[in-house]
Structure 1
């Protein structure tokens, strides 16, 4: 759903870096899959076409937060 987003905090060795994947248009969604030590977060259309993808090593992820569309961005 438009506005859904996933925030991923990754350990980069000397600190952390934050990444966001967001469903940017109506009819899109954010999918998360985990396999073989890799977490993949993708923005996907209604038809199943992947628009953008972020891949992260599971051992490096510090936090992963799913924000529903109705949640206010200022509260994070």
Structure 2
């Protein structure tokens, strides 16, 4: 869902690097899969087609943090009235 994001921190030898994958449009989500020594983080559409993919060696991943969008924030955003473009009468 739009706003979901995953933050990945990896060991890059002498330093750490941080990457972030975000669901950028409505209907997209971020999927995480771990297998065979590889962590795959992908932004996918409703139909499951990957839009962006990031792959990391699992031995290098220090932290993987999922930040789901808050349900309350979505409800509040939908409940706010939209400004009208017509002039007042």
- TM-score w.r.t. the length of structure 1 is 0.90
Which portions of structure 1, spanning 4 or more consecutive aligned residues, are displaced by more than 2 angstroms?
none
Structure 2: runs of 5 or more not aligned? 72-89
Q: Give the aligned CA root-mean-square deviation in angstroms.
A: 1.1
For the pair 1:21 / 2:26, whether they are aligned, the reply is no
Q: Which has the higher strand share?
A: 1
SS of the equivalent of 2:59 reads: helix
Q: Which has the higher contact order (CA 8 A, sep 6+)?
A: 1
Q: Distance in 2 between matches of 1:48 and 1:65?
A: 22
**Partner of 1:61 in structure 2?**
61
- TM-score w.r.t. the length of structure 2 is 0.77
Rg larger in 1 or in 2?
A: 2
Deviation, 1:70, is: 2.3
Q: Distance in 1 between matches of 2:34 and 2:63?
A: 14
Deviation, 1:69, is: 1.2
